[in-house]
Amino acid sequence: MASKRFNALPGFGLTMGLTLTYLSVIVLIPLAGLFLRTSEMSAAEFWRAATHPRALAAYRLTFGASFIAALINAVFGTITAWVLARYSFPGKRFLDALVDFPFALPTAVAGLTLSSLFAKTGWLGRYLVPMGIEGAFSRLGIVIALTFIGLPFVVRTLQPVLEDLERETEEAAATLGAGRLRTFFTVIVPTLLPAILTGFALSFARAIGEYGSVIFIAGNKQYYSEITPLLIFVHLEEYNYAGAMAIAVVMLIASFAMLGTINLLERWASRFQL
């Protein structure tokens, strides 16, 4: 008689029940409450609040800046993960720990630090502003802040994949006459592409909801440098709960659509893995 396999946790029914309960309390119930509260609005009221010119300007800035920041992180985060996974050098442990610094640093502190650095009298701003590069109180400042807080997501997603990547495959490609560039694009990139897309998605999703680090460096001008989370907060301060909930639902739907698209891209890219 075959012996039963020992499981450290209780059976499937109990653990699945606890999982669904936890997710419902933390995620599903708050989201359902938001949709139910929004359903009290008429379709005309919802459309008017969600498509107000000020809200449309905030959407364009939020998603545009988040996309640019995630794209920058996808490129330079991949390079950073490659260096940390493939090379040994003095100070590597310090550099590896520095990648997680945005996780530990409060977002408000990050925003204040970046704004002081890129202001006209800051350490970097005093050299960049005369050249016409305004990193503080501008849209560029928003991209800088979102890039700062999103970098660890790309690096930490790619680093384990690179560490597990077998170098024998690269050596075999080199033995067959492939150059470094061809080996990189035909052997390494197809393997890393799903992880890069995942890191991009995580960085993008994190940037869309960022608030603390952005408000100190953006300038928060209406129709120019006002992000969507700030606009929701402004509506709440003005007791415009209907407007705040309408914009929140739009952001929620857009986030789900973005994550679904990224998931499809990851599935497509995984077909080309070796």
Domain residues for the domain of 249 are 64-270
**32 within some domain:** no
Amino acid at 1: M
- Written in H, E and C, the secondary structure of 177-209 is CCCHHHHHHHHHHHHHHHHHHHHHHHHHHHHHC
Q: Say what the pLDDT of residue 1 is.
A: 47
Is residue 254 assigned to a domain? yes
- For residue 250, is it within any domain? yes
157 located within any domain: yes
57 located within any domain:
no
From the list 205, 206, 209, 202, the residue with the least C-alpha distance to 233 is 209
The residues, ordered by sequence, that sit 6+ positions from 158 with a Cβ below 8 Å of its Cβ are: 77, 78, 81, 82, 85, 192, 195, 196, 199
**What is the rounded CA–CA span in Å between residue 44 and residue 102?**
41
Q: Which residues of the chain have pLDDT under 70?
A: 1-10, 170-171, 173, 176-179, 265-266, 269-274
- Tokens coding 194: 């799903």
For residue 77, being part of any structural domain is answered with yes
Asked if residue 59 is part of any domain, the answer here is no
Residue 89's domain is classified under what CATH number?
1.10.3720.10
Check: pTM over 0.95? Answer yes or no: no
DSSP string, 112-151: HHHHHHHSTTSTTHHHHGGGT---SSSHHHHHHHHHHHHH
> In the chain, how many domains are there?
1
113 belongs to a structural domain? yes
- Please tell me the predicted confidence (pLDDT) of residue 9: 62
